[in-house]
Amino acid sequence: MSIISTHGLSKHYSGLRAVNNVDFDLPDGQVRALIGPNGAGKTTFVGMLSGRIKSSAGSVSFLNTDVTDMPAHKRMSMGMAYTFQITSVFANLSVHENVALAARRAIKGAPSVVNNKVMSVLEQVYLADRTDQIAGDLSYGHQRLLEIGMGLAQSPRLFILDEPTQGLSASEVDGFIELVRVLSKDTTILLIEHNMDVVMRTAHYITVLNFGEILAEGTPAEIRSDTDVQTAYLGTT
Amino acid sequence: MNQAARSVVLHGLVIALLVAMFFVLPEYHSGNLARILVLAVFAMGYNVLFGYTGLLSLGHALFFASGMYGLGLSIQFLSASPMLAIVIGLITAVVVSGVIGFLALRTTGVAFMIVTLMFAQAGFLTVLFFGKYTRGDEGFVIQRAQRILFGVDLSQPLPRYFAALILFAICLCLIAWMVHSRFGKTLVAIRENEERARMLGYDIQRHKLMAVIISGTMSGAAGAAYALLFGYAGASFAAVQYSILPLLYVLLGGAGTTIGPLIGTVFMFYLIDISSEYTDAYLLIAGLALILLTLFAPHGIAGILRKKLAWLP
Amino acid sequence: MDFGPHLFVASLEGAITAAVLALTAVGLSIVFGIMRVVNVAHGEFFMLGAVIAWWITSLIAGHPALGFTVALIAAPIIVGALAVICNRFVLHKINYEPERTIVATIGLLYVIQQTTLMTFGPEARPVEAPFNKRIALPWFEFGESGFALTWPWGLSTTTYKLAVIAAAVVILLVLWTVMTRTKIGLIMRATQLDQEMAQAYGIAVNKVYALVFGLGAALAALGAVLVVPIQQAHYLMGDDPLLLSFIVVIIGGLGSVPGTVLAAVLIGMSDGIISVFFTPTLAKILATLLVAFVLIFKPDGLFGKRRE
Amino acid sequence: MTDTKKSSIITSSSGGKIGGQTINKSMNRRTALKTLSAGVGAMAGVGALPGMMGCAHASDEPIRIGFQVHRTGIGAAYGRWYDRTTEAVVKRINDEGGINGRPIEIVAEDDGTDPKRGAEVVEKLATKHKCDVAFGTLFSHVVYGSAPRAGELAIPYFVVSEGHHVASGALNRYTLQPGITDVKSQVEAMGPFIKENLGKKVTMIFPDFAFGHDHRDYFSAAFESLGGEILEKIAIPPTETSFSKYFPKIPRETEVVYHVMVGPAVLTFVKELGEFFGPSRPEIFGFIDSLEAVDLSSPGLEFLEGTYFWEGNPRYAQEDQTEFDKAYREAVGVDESGASISDAKDVSTYAHMFGCWETMYVIKAGMEAAGYNGPDDRQKLIEAVESMTEMPHSMEHPQGAKLFNGKTHQVFGHQYISKVTDGKLVLAHTTSIEDTLYEDEVDYTSMSF
C-alpha cells in the first residue's frame, strides 16, 4: 500500500520549472531517500507534499486521500510530520515544551499522557537530561535532535526529514542513523539527504531528482551503478 | 508547589489583596482603583493578542467602544436593563472582533497593525457619523437610574468597586487558566514560531481568530463596564489614543504575563496622576518614563519580577 | 459648483496633500526600509519643523520670503540634528529592537509634544507665505457655441499652493538622484538589502543609521515648513501626518521609495476626490476602509515586492 | 508658557487669612517643583503668602474651588485664558474679603481636554483635594464625561461650557451653568439679525460633531421658522486640516455663509474660505469660535473685512465701553484689542472666558445666600443658586445682564454681533435676553439630590 503518492506534480515560479510533472509513490513502511544536486527541487517537492508550498499542477494523495488543496496543518494532523531544513524550534521555550507542543496536537489525552510521551521521545533523541533547558541555548546538534524529537512526538505515519544530518558531528550522525533504523519499524520515512553515507546506510529505496524531474529510482545498489545519476550528481565517486 | 498550584495561590492572593484594598485605601484611591481594574481588563484583553499570540493590534479602541456603545445605546434607545445591555455589549464585541479578525488576519506584521488601525479609525468616524444617536464626540450620559443591576446601584463606591473587581477577577482567572491550557500554550507557540506551529499541525488561522475574539470581547467587556460603572459613553474612547493605551499598559507591566497588565495600568495611572500635581507637563514625565523603561527594563515591570521569580505565569 | 470644476478643485487640493505627504512619508519610509524600525515620533519631527519655521520667521524681519527661505534650510537641519541625537541616545541603546523602539518612540512623541506645549504654547500660529496670490482658474466647456473657456465661481487656487507641489517634486527628484546616483545612496541601499553584508564590506552601519534617521526627520520637517504657510504651526499637528505617512508607507510597500511616493499621490488624491462624491465624514470612513481593504488583499502594499 | 501654576492661593494682605503652616509648606514644595519645570510664574503666589499668615480658626479656612482646566490637549488655548480669568476673579473676590469672610483657594487640575481624565479629575477634586465645589469646564465632551461623577459624589459642578447639555436635561441636579449662555440660545438669537440684514438663503458650514450639530439643528429650525431658507449644510470632519475641497459644495445662490469651526485648524479654514471666494463673496456670518485666540491681523484674514461675527463678549473695547468691561479687562490683563497686555500676539478667548468670572461670582452669591459653611451645605448652595433669577449688568456680570432659570440650571444673556471694520470687530447689534429664551426642557429642581 502506498502512503503518499503524487501525480504530475509541478511547481512553476514565473517561468522557472522548480518541479515538473513528478509521479512519485512511497509505499508504507519504507525508508526513502530523496537526493539530487543543489537546486534540483527537493525542498520544493517535499514542500508540496507537506502543504507548505502550493502546487502549480498535479495532485498529491496521502493515505489514499487527495490532499492537493488541503492546508499544511490538516495534512500534519492526518499523520504527517515535517522537520525543517533550517533548524526551526521554539527557541524561547523549554526543550520539554517544544516536544510537548508537538505531542499535544497528536494526543488528545490528559497532561500526564502527554508528559509520558514527551519523556519517552526525549529519551529516544538523547535529550532526556535537558528537559528544562531553553531550546535556544542548546548546541546546534542538539537542536537538530530536538527537531526530530518534535516530529517523533506526533507519532507520524509519514515522517519527512529535510537534511537532518546537516551540521551534525560524526558521532551525532551515527546516532541519527541508529535512530532512523529504530523509527523505520513503525514509520514511513522520507529523507532529503546530501550525506551519501547516511543515504546508503538507511534508505531502502532512493529517488533522484534533477532539474525538477525524476532522473532515476531504485535501491541503493541500483542507484550507485546508474550511469545517468553518476554523471548528473555523483560524479565519479 | 507545582505550576498550577502556584498560579492559584498567586492569583488568589492578588484578588484577596484587591478586596482588602477597598477597605484600606482612602476614598480617592479606591475610586481610582475601580477605574484601574476596568482599564486593566482592557489591558488583559489586549495582552491575550499581543502578549500571548504576538499580534500587535493598533485598533483595540474599536473593541472597547463596541462594548461601550453596545451597552450604552441599548440602554439609551431600547431601554434595556443593565443585564441585557451587558449581554448586548458583549455580543457586539464578539461580532465586531470576529469580523475584524477574519479580515485583518489575512495580513501579518506591520500590515496587521495598519489594518486594525484603519478599522478602528473607521469605527471612530462611524460613531461621529451617526451623531444623531451617539451624540458624537460629546457622547451621552447613562443616568444613575439606568445603572441599577439586580437592585444594586452601581454608581455607589462599594458596588462599583466590587463590580469592577468581579469582572477583573473573572478575566484574570480566565487568563490564568488559559495560560495553562492547550489553547494558551498553542498561542504562545504561534507567537514564538508561527511556521513551526503550523507544521506541527496546528490551525494557525483558527487559533489567531479565537485569540482576536477573546481579546476583543474582553476589551469590549471593559468598555461596557466603563460605561455602566462611570455613566458615560463618548467617541473619545474610540479614538486612536485608546488603542495605544492598552499597548502601553501591557508593555510597561510586562507582555505575556498574567498580572503584568494590572501592574502596567496601575503604574501608568499613578504616573500621570501624581506627576500632574507637580507640572502641566506630566506627559513629558510619562514620556521620559517610557524611554527609561525601554532602556532599562525592556520586559516591563513583571519582567523584572520574573528575573527573581522565574515561575511567574 | 458644477461637477467638473468641483472635481478639479478637489484634485488640486488632493495634489497638495499628496505633495506634503510624499515628503513626510518618504522620510518615514527610508527609516522603515533601511533601519527596519517603526518611528512613532515621526509626526513630531514634522510638527517641530513647522514650529521652528514659525520661530525663525518671527525672528527675521523684512519681506516674509526672507524668513521663510532661512526656515526652509535651517528647520530641517535643526530637526535632523535632533533626530540624530535621539537615535544616538535612545534607539541605538536599545539595539533597534522593534517593540522597544515603538515604546521608546511613543515616549519621544510625548516628550517632544509636551516640550513644545511648554515653550511654544497651545495656540495655532501662522507663518506668512513668501508669496500668495489667488489665481482664478478657467474651465473648458463645450457649449452651443462649441469649445469655450469659462471662469467658474470659486474655481481657484493660490500661487503658493502650486509652488508647494512643484517644490515637493523637485525635492523628491533630488532625493531620488542621491539615492541612486551617489556613493552615500549606494551605501544606504546596501544597508537596506543586507545589514550584515554591509558591515562585512566595511560600511559603518551605525553611522548610516544615524544619517538615515536624521534624513528621515529632516524630510518630515521640510514637508512641514512647506505646509505651514497653508496650515499654521500647532503642537498637536504631528498626529495626522504620522497616521497618514504610516498608511502611505505600508500601501507603498515597505521601504520602497517610488512606491511610497505613488501611494502618497494615491492617498492624497483619493482623499480629495472621494470628498466630491460623499458627505465629508462618510468620505473619510470610505477612504479609511479603502486603505484597510487594499492591505487585506495586497498585504505587501500595492507596489511592494513579496519578502521572504 | 508663562503661566503654568498648578494651584495658587490669591489673597490680599487685608482680607484673607490662610490657616496654618501646612499650606505654606505645600505651597513651597509645589512652587519649587513647578519652578523647576515651568518657570517663574508661580513666584508671585509665594510672595503674597507672608501677609496672609495670621490667626487661624475654622471659619477662616479657605473655600476650596476645584478648577477643572484644559491645560493640555485640544482645549489648551482656551484653558490658558480660563486660567487667567479665574485667577483674576479670585484675586478680586479675595481682595474684597472673600466669600463669607473666607478666602477662595483654587485647586486646579488639568483634564487634558479628555472626558475620561475629566471624570477622574472631578473625583480627585472631590475626594482627594476635598474641594467644596468643582468649576470651570469648557469642552462639552468633558462635561458629559465628568458630570455623572459630580452627581454621584454630590459635589456642585459649575460648568462654563456654552453647551446645551445642562439645559437639555441630560445631566443632573449638581451640574449648573450660571455664567454663560448655551449654544441653543446663542444660535437661535442670531436668526432675526441674519435674515433682516444679511440674506434669506443660508449655507451652513460646521464641524461634524455634536457642537456643530447643535448649530445645524438649532439654527436651521430657528431660521426656517422665520421664513429663511437653509440651502446646504456642510459638515466638516473634525480631523480635517484642509478645507478648500469642501467649498465647491456651497450653492451659487447662497446669500449668507454661516460658519463655525473649532480647533487648531480654524485659521486655515477662514483663510481658505477667503481664497475660495476671491473678490465675489456672499455675506459671511461666523461664530467667533472660528477665531478665538486668533489674531485678526494674521496673514490671510484680510478678506474678513466687512463680515459679521457672533461674539459672546466683544473682543475689542467698544466706543461705549462700560466701566465694568474696562475694569474686567484690566483685571484679567487684556488690552483694548483683546490681547494680553504683555504680549499683543497672545490673543484671548474673550467671547467665552468671561463665563469664568461671572460663574465665580454666582458661586460667591450662592454661598453667601446659603450661609455656606462646608460640604454639608452643598445642597443648600444648589438650592440658593436655583432660586436666582435676574443678574444685573455689574462688576459681577461685566458681559451684561442675565436671567437665570433655576429649573434648567442655565443662564440666558445678551448676545453680540460685530462687524469686521478696519481689521477690528465693531459691535453692530446686541440681542435682547428674550431673543435667547426657549421652552424649558427639564426641571432639575424636581429631582432629588
Which pLDDT tens digit goes with each residue over B153-198? 888 889 999 999 999 999 999 999 999 888 999 999 999 999 899 9
Asked if the Cβ–Cβ distance from C289 to B294 is below 8 Å, we say no
Do A113 and A227 reside in the same domain of the chain?
no
Percent of chain D exceeding pLDDT 90 equals: 61
Asked if the Cβ–Cβ distance from B280 to D211 is below 8 Å, we say no
Work out the average pLDDT over D174-189: 93
Q: Which residues of A touch B192 (CB under 8 A)?
A: 90-93
Q: In total, how many domains does chain A have? A: 2
Question: Minimum mean pLDDT among A19-28, B20-29, C294-303, D32-41: which range?
Answer: D32-41
Do A106 and A211 reside in the same domain of the chain?
no
Question: Minimum mean pLDDT among A54-68, C205-219, C272-286, D211-225: which range?
Answer: C272-286
Q: Which residues of B touch A71 (CB under 8 A)?
A: 203
The dihedral of CA A128, A130, A136, A141: what is its sign?
negative
CATH architecture of structural domain D7-181+351-412 = 3-Layer(aba) Sandwich (3.40)
- The full DSSP string for B220-259 is HHHHHHHHHHH-EE-GGGGSTHHHHHHHHHHHHH-TT-SS
Do A181 and A225 reside in the same domain of the chain?
yes
Rounded Cα–Cα distance for residues C192 and A22 (Å): 39
Q: Do chains A and C touch (3 or more CB pairs under 8 A)?
A: no
Q: Among A100, A133, A155, which residue terminates a domain?
A: A155
Q: In total, how many domains does chain C have? A: 1
Residue B202, chain A, CB below 8 Å: the answer is: yes
Residue B255, chain A, CB below 8 Å: the answer is: no
Burial class (CB in 10 A: 0-12, 13-18, 19+), A234: middle
Alpha carbon B44 to its chain centroid, in Å, reads 5
| CB contact at 8 A, C36 and C184 | no
Longest dimension (CA), chain D: 72
Asked if the Cβ–Cβ distance from B201 to A100 is below 8 Å, we say no
Work out the average pLDDT over A145-152: 90
Local structure of residue D99 (DSSP, 8 states): B
Enclosing domain of residue C155: 18-237
pLDDT at A221 over 80: yes
Measured in angstroms, the CA of D172 and the nearest CA of chain B are apart by: 9
pLDDT of residue B1: 57
| CB contact at 8 A, D198 and D255 | yes
pLDDT of residue C308: 35
Backbone angles phi, psi at A58, to 5 degrees: 90, 180
Do A148 and A164 reside in the same domain of the chain?
no
Residue type, D184: K
Asked if the Cβ–Cβ distance from A73 to B186 is below 8 Å, we say no
pLDDT tier, B124 (very low <50, low <70, confident <90, very high otherwise): very high
pLDDT of residue B120: 94
pLDDT of residue A233: 65
Q: Do domains D7-181+351-412 and D183-311+414-436 have the same CATH topology?
A: yes
Instruction: Give the total residue count for chain B.
Output: 313
| CB contact at 8 A, C75 and C139 | no
pLDDT of residue D389: 93
Alpha carbon D163 to its chain centroid, in Å, reads 10
Q: Nearest Cβ partner of D242 from C5, C13, C284?
A: C13
Q: Average pLDDT over chain C, rounded to whole?
A: 85
At the top level of CATH, which class does the domain D183-311+414-436 belong to? Answer: alpha beta
End-to-end CA distance of chain A: 34
Work out the average pLDDT over D228-248: 86
Work out the average pLDDT over B232-249: 89
Q: Average pLDDT over chain D, rounded to whole?
A: 84
Residue B87's nearest CA partner among B68, B71, B76 is B71
pLDDT at D13 over 50: no
Q: Is residue C50 part of a domain?
A: yes
Nearest-Cα residue of chain A relative to residue B192: A90
Given the C-alpha cell 504576538, which residue does it identify?
A: B54
Measured in angstroms, the CA of B10 and the nearest CA of chain A are apart by: 22
Q: Is residue C223 part of a domain?
A: yes
Give me the residues paired with residue D419 across strands: D308, D426
Structure-block grid coordinates of residue C103: 515604546
Q: Which residues of B touch C108 (CB under 8 A)?
A: 287, 291
Do A71 and A163 reside in the same domain of the chain?
yes
Percent of chain C exceeding pLDDT 90 equals: 25
**Which residues, including other chains, have CB under 8 Å from residue B145's CB and lie 6 or more apart?**
none
pLDDT of residue D21: 35
Backbone angles phi, psi at A4, to 5 degrees: -145, 140
Encode pLDDT of D255-284 as tens digits. Answer: 999 999 877 777 888 888 888 887 788 999
Residue C60, chain B, CB below 8 Å: the answer is: no
- The full DSSP string for B176-225 is HHHHHSHHHHHHHHHHH-HHHHHHTT--HHHHHHHHHHHHHHHHHHHHHH
pLDDT of residue A234: 56
pLDDT at D415 over 90: yes
How many CB pairs below 8 A link C and D?
113
Q: Is residue C249 part of a domain?
A: no
Asked if the Cβ–Cβ distance from B235 to D38 is below 8 Å, we say no
pLDDT of residue D324: 94
| CB contact at 8 A, C155 and C136 | yes
Structure-block grid coordinates of residue C69: 527661505
Q: Which residues of B touch A76 (CB under 8 A)?
A: 198-201
Q: Among A155, A182, A197, which residue terminates a domain?
A: A155
Give me the residues paired with residue D402 across strands: D391, D413
Given the C-alpha cell 545589514, which residue does it identify?
A: C195
Rounded Cα–Cα distance for residues D198 and C251 (Å): 48
pLDDT of residue C112: 93
Local structure of residue D72 (DSSP, 8 states): S
Rounded Cα–Cα distance for residues C253 and C304 (Å): 4
Q: Is residue C271 part of a domain?
A: no
pLDDT tier, D40 (very low <50, low <70, confident <90, very high otherwise): very low
pLDDT tier, D11 (very low <50, low <70, confident <90, very high otherwise): very low
Encode pLDDT of C31-52 as tens digits. Answer: 888 888 888 899 999 999 999 9
pLDDT of residue C70: 93
Local structure of residue D324 (DSSP, 8 states): H
Q: Which residues of A touch B201 (CB under 8 A)?
A: 73-77, 80, 105-106, 154
List of chains touching A (3+ CB pairs within 8 A) = B
Q: Nearest Cβ partner of B128 from D114, D115, D209?
A: D209
Q: Is residue C253 part of a domain?
A: no
pLDDT at C1 over 90: no
pLDDT at D55 over 50: no
pLDDT of residue B311: 66
Work out the average pLDDT over D101-113: 91
Work out the average pLDDT over D367-387: 93
Encode pLDDT of D286-323 as tens digits. Answer: 999 878 888 888 877 888 889 999 999 999 999 889 99
Give the best residue of D123, D139, D143 to mutate against chain B (max B CB count within 10 A): D123
Instruction: Give the total residue count for chain A.
Output: 237
pLDDT at B25 over 50: yes
Burial class (CB in 10 A: 0-12, 13-18, 19+), D348: buried
Question: Minimum mean pLDDT among A76-80, B100-104, D55-59, D178-182: which range?
Answer: D55-59
Residue D107's nearest CA partner among D22, D39, D226, D27 is D27
Plot region of C136 (φ>0 → left; ψ -120 to 50 → alpha; else → beta): beta
Q: Which residue has the higher pLDDT, C143 or B60?
A: B60
List of chains touching C (3+ CB pairs within 8 A) = B, D
Q: Is residue C53 part of a domain?
A: yes
Local structure of residue C307 (DSSP, 8 states): P
pLDDT at D7 over 50: no
Encode pLDDT of C46-90 as tens digits. Answer: 999 999 999 999 888 888 889 899 999 999 999 999 999 999 998
Rounded Cα–Cα distance for residues A35 and A32 (Å): 10
Q: How far is CA B102 from CA A163, A215, B207, C208, in A?
A: 36, 44, 11, 40
Q: Are strands D201-207 and D256-259 parallel, antiparallel or unpaired?
A: parallel
pTM of the full structure: 0.85
Rounded Cα–Cα distance for residues A14 and C112 (Å): 49
pLDDT at D52 over 70: no
Rounded Cα–Cα distance for residues D214 and D170 (Å): 14
Backbone angles phi, psi at D207, to 5 degrees: -70, 145
Residue C112's nearest CA partner among C51, C31, C27 is C51
Q: Is residue C157 part of a domain?
A: yes
Beta strands in C91-224 (DSSP E): 134-136, 139-143, 146-150, 156-158
Do A73 and A161 reside in the same domain of the chain?
yes
Q: Nearest Cβ partner of C6 from D77, D248, D275?
A: D248
Enclosing domain of residue A149: 87-155
Number of Cα atoms under 13 Å in the Cβ half of residue C14: 21
End-to-end CA distance of chain D: 41
Quickly count helices (H) and strands (E) in chain B: 14, 4
**Which residues, including other chains, have CB under 8 Å from residue C40's CB and lie 6 or more apart?**
C102, C105, C106, C108, C109, C242
Q: Nearest Cβ partner of D244 from C9, C117, C123?
A: C9
Question: Minimum mean pLDDT among B267-271, D52-56, D133-137, D366-370: which range?
Answer: D52-56
Residue B140, chain D, CB below 8 Å: the answer is: yes
Plot region of D80 (φ>0 → left; ψ -120 to 50 → alpha; else → beta): alpha
Please name the helix (run of DSSP H) or strand (run of DSSP E) that holds residue A6, with its range, or none: strand A2-13
Rounded Cα–Cα distance for residues C287 and A183 (Å): 58
pLDDT at D29 over 70: no
Residue-range domain boundaries for chain D: 7-181+351-412, 183-311+414-436
Instruction: Residue A223: give its domain's CATH number.
Output: 3.40.50.300
Q: Is residue C258 part of a domain?
A: no
Encode pLDDT of C265-300 as tens digits. Answer: 888 888 788 877 877 788 778 878 888 888 888 877
